[in-house]
Structure 1
Amino acid sequence: MSSYVAGADVPDLKLIRQCVHCGLCLPTCPTYVVLGVEMDNPRGRIRLMKSAHEGAVSVGPEFDEHIYKCLDCRACETACPSGVQFGKIVEAARAQIETQRPRPPLQRAVRAVFFDLLLPHPRLLALAARASGLGARLGGPVLRALGRGSGAFRRVAEMTSLIPQRRLVWDTLPPQLPAIGERRGRVLLFRGCIMRAAFGDVNAATARVLTRNGFEVLAPADQTCCGALHVHAGERDGGRALARTNIDRLEGFEVDAIVVNAAGCGANLKEYGWLLKDDPAYADRAERLAARVKDVTEFLVDHGLTRAPGELRLRVTYDDPCHLLHGQKIREQPRALLAAIPGLEVVPLEEADMCCGSAGIYNVTHDEIAQALLRRKVERIALTRASVVVTANPGCAMQIESGLRRAGLDIRVVHLVELLDAAYGGTPTTLPA
């Protein structure tokens, strides 16, 4: 008898059986690279999920430990010759954990505030982010001093160090921005929750780059969080509720694409069809919406730049966000856009395809592994001698910026569209003078 219960997502046995246990994914798995433990790699976790299907193991503490120790970076999917869609099965396994293993009251309260109150309401999220930033600036030195004698204070100090030093900018985009020059089409910009609450300048840069290349940009205000963090954390019902809201509010817009500038959001939006496959009222609608989703780098390369970027004399390196490279299979497009900027020296980054340790909220829930991965990433960035790290996801940007700051390295972290916007004559606030 299966150890999984009805009423929650179950890891798809057909997807599990695609794994041939060849082990080609092992060198690409961040937790296996750090820990070297068989149960903490995709092959071991798949065996665990299959054993739970057979009733040989329960959804208990050991199952919980190994399933949640996964970063859900999906590097194994890129390496897998059999095409195992690991993200889908590990996220379903987490839904089983949340159903069968009730969390302590404090954890439940914290998750409720984060997933149910803050993420779906960007203004509240923005307020919380600014309060956290102020607290980190005022209390950071005290926490670090206390942390030398207490593990609890050290943990809080490490968490506050993740708050970016860059100015947090609220997204003030108007609902419609006209194309500059000949109009080539119309797109809808997905504004997100964290992007809207703290990276409004990146959303603005995205809109400017699109309009400069002939696209009218719609930026409706009533869209909500995509639900990616909910799905990754086993809160799939919450993720589905947000997906339905976005479908209701966005499907009626007549646009050529729904453009996304956050890799995690894009990967989740593209999988709305899978998330809602068992909902007869939304399954087809979810597939249709997902088919229109494009990462901004993907969209720009598909349609081509009509305006040549100006010169930028910078030495940069590019780090692949996991959910752009592994989740959406987008690798060459960001590099093609960087190559289109005259004067830019792009230095290849060793292990650019290895997770930085951010992984949604992983750097909070599994900080030791996350920090080990971050140190590995920072060491390789330092070897490039670049003055700027370019990426395409807010979580990656915050994590890498935190690691560079701790290492005492004066290296900026920017989103790729910020670099393009600067090359078009925008007003960069994060580039070296």
Structure 2
Amino acid sequence: MTDFPTGAETGPPSPRRSFDDLLGDCVHCGFCLPTCPTYVLWGEEMDSPRGRIHLMAQTRDDVLTPEVVQHFDRCLGCLACVSSCPSGVRYDSLIESTRARVEAEHQRGPRERLLRALVFALFPYRRRLDLLRGPLRAYRACGASAWLRRSGVLERVSPSLAAMERVAPPLRTVPALPGRLPAVGRRRAVVGLLTGCVQGSLLPQVNTATARVLASEGCEVLTPRAQGCCGALSAHSGRAAEAARFARATVETFERAGVDTVVVNSAGCGSSMKHYADVLAEAGAGPSWERRARALSARTADLTEFLVRLGPVAERHPLPVRAAYHDACHLSHGQGVRDQPRELLRAIPGLELLDLPDPDLCCGSAGVYNLLRPDAARELGDRKAGNLRSTGARLLVTGNPGCSLQIASAMERGGHPVSVAHPAQVLDASIRGLDASALLEDAP
């Protein structure tokens, strides 16, 4: 079997740097400005990473006013600034700590509190999302969706609910994944699969394709039934205690599974799981939990990252299609996974892979940002859709469910619907020898 990091070599947790120490890393050079989506949209200094760091420093001992909180809330947390910063500023740690402070100290208005309560009572819970599948199908089938979109009623009542309705995908029914899927041929690794909340409920076909690809490459795939939310949405939204609760449960689940690697096919989930020690430290967990978190993080890998490391052996059949690849922010910036998806996709005979113009600009999904800040998200989605249209691609490939739903919605809104697939689905189609039409069912 292939050797993968076990986490045993991670040792004791290194000392955490203080918030003030992290603030001091910023030299205010401005390299982050052109990479920041909100600065690109509005050109406002306080809506840039540099401006927000200035606000963090200025308000260390002050009350957080609604005006200051608004600038923090407008941040998508895309981490493009982290990749572009020559000084290595940990803006990701700074903004997550600041958001935890905002949630602890700032009193939001009743409308905002109600919206956030709805979002976080629903999206981190797979079973609750599953309960919506039937009503959502009926809603679509009776024509209410088309009428509401034409009338604009929902947009006037609540732009956030309208955004939620627009990104809801067509629902497909696939057989439930078995708890154990044996490897095809010689077993090369034993992996655990994180199925996710949104991915597992609204896009289950992605998990099915992921498991098939892993099995085809000689992996025994374990899918623990007990797994729940990984805590990514909570961590990115300042809900520190909730994020830590989800993280602890995930650590325990995959510790019990006893796998070589935890494979994740959702960029946001993978990024969060690779930083579990920070998530638990933010909530005040002790050294023991931090060590366990680091051990799991060391065994966590994005699907494409894992496959390149493992070395593909399954035969690829031709798949003649013109596809564009979108870098999900929490895959490229959050995990540094940029080349691996392209390497795997370009190895497929007949597939023409294109890069999008302005690839580092966030699409506007950003977890639940497109529901909490729908106007800004819509602007960014429309920009990304325009870039996609310019390539002439019939298929968009991306490794995050939020990006898939956001960009598909923007393309449909602009009158240019496009098929969207996860890299796992493209690899699965090639390995199984399917026709390209299997990926282009919804293409114009």
- What's the TM-score once normalised by structure 1's chain length? 0.92
C-alpha separation in 1, matches of 2:354 and 2:119? 38
Q: What's the % identity of the aligned pairs?
A: 42
Aligned to 2:352: 345
The gaps in structure 1 that reach 5 residues or longer are: 1-9
Alpha-carbon deviations, 1:41-81, whole Å to 9, x = none? 0000000001112x3x5311122100010000000001001
The gaps in structure 2 that reach 5 residues or longer are: 1-16
Q: Secondary structure at the match of 1:424?
A: helix
Tell whether the 8 Å contact from 1:140 to 1:157 is kept in structure 2 after alignment. Answer: no
* Structure 1 residue 288 corresponds to structure 2 residue 292: no
- Counterpart residue type for residue 111 of structure 1: R
C-alpha separation in 2, matches of 1:358 and 1:73? 9
Among residues 366, 371, 380, which one is paired with 2:378 in the alignment?
371
C-alpha separation in 2, matches of 1:58 and 1:430? 55
Taking structure 1 as reference, are residues 306 and 149 closer, same or farther at Cα in structure 2, changes over 3 Å only?
Answer: closer
Taking structure 1 as reference, are residues 223 and 371 closer, same or farther at Cα in structure 2, changes over 3 Å only?
Answer: same
- After TM superposition, list the pairs within 5 Å mapping 1:126-165 onto structure 2: 126-132=130-136, 134-135=138-139, 138-147=143-152, 151-152=156-157, 156-164=161-169
- Counterpart residue type for residue 65 of structure 1: Q
Aligned to 2:7: none
- Counterpart residue type for residue 221 of structure 2: V
Q: CA shift at 1:102, angstroms?
A: 2.6
* Structure 1 residue 118 corresponds to structure 2 residue 126: no
Q: What is the count of residue pairs matched by the alignment?
A: 421
C-alpha separation in 2, matches of 1:109 and 1:179? 46
Tell whether the 8 Å contact from 1:171 to 1:203 is kept in structure 2 after alignment. Answer: no
C-alpha separation in 2, matches of 1:28 and 1:355? 9
C-alpha separation in 2, matches of 1:78 and 1:154? 32
Q: CA shift at 1:170, angstroms?
A: 6.2
Q: CA shift at 1:169, angstroms?
A: 4.1
Among residues 281, 285, 306, which one is paired with 1:279 in the alignment?
285
Tell whether the 8 Å contact from 2:230 to 2:250 is kept in structure 1 after alignment. Answer: yes
- After TM superposition, list the pairs within 5 Å mapping 1:372-391 onto structure 2: 372-391=379-398
Aligned to 1:52: 59
C-alpha separation in 2, matches of 1:98 and 1:155? 20
C-alpha separation in 2, matches of 1:122 and 1:313? 35
Q: Secondary structure at the match of 2:190?
A: strand
- What's the TM-score once normalised by structure 2's chain length? 0.90
Q: CA shift at 1:106, angstroms?
A: 5.2
Deviates more, 1:363-372 or 1:103-112: 103-112
- After TM superposition, list the pairs within 5 Å mapping 1:198-213 onto structure 2: 198-213=202-217
Aligned to 2:8: none
Alpha-carbon deviations, 1:150-178, whole Å to 9, x = none? 732666444311111x3244671111011
Tell whether the 8 Å contact from 1:227 to 1:268 is kept in structure 2 after alignment. Answer: yes
Deviates more, 1:140-149 or 1:41-50: 140-149
Alpha-carbon deviations, 1:322-352, whole Å to 9, x = none? 0000000110000001111000011221112
- Counterpart residue type for residue 248 of structure 1: E
Which of structures 1 and 2 has the larger relative contact order (alpha carbons within 8 angstroms, sep 6+)? Answer: 2
Aligned to 1:223: 227
Tell whether the 8 Å contact from 1:130 to 1:168 is kept in structure 2 after alignment. Answer: no
- Counterpart residue type for residue 93 of structure 2: K
C-alpha separation in 2, matches of 1:313 and 1:155? 39
Tell whether the 8 Å contact from 2:316 to 2:433 is kept in structure 1 after alignment. Answer: no
- Counterpart residue type for residue 298 of structure 2: A
Q: CA shift at 1:30, angstroms?
A: 0.4
- Counterpart residue type for residue 439 of structure 2: L
Tell whether the 8 Å contact from 1:169 to 1:197 is kept in structure 2 after alignment. Answer: no
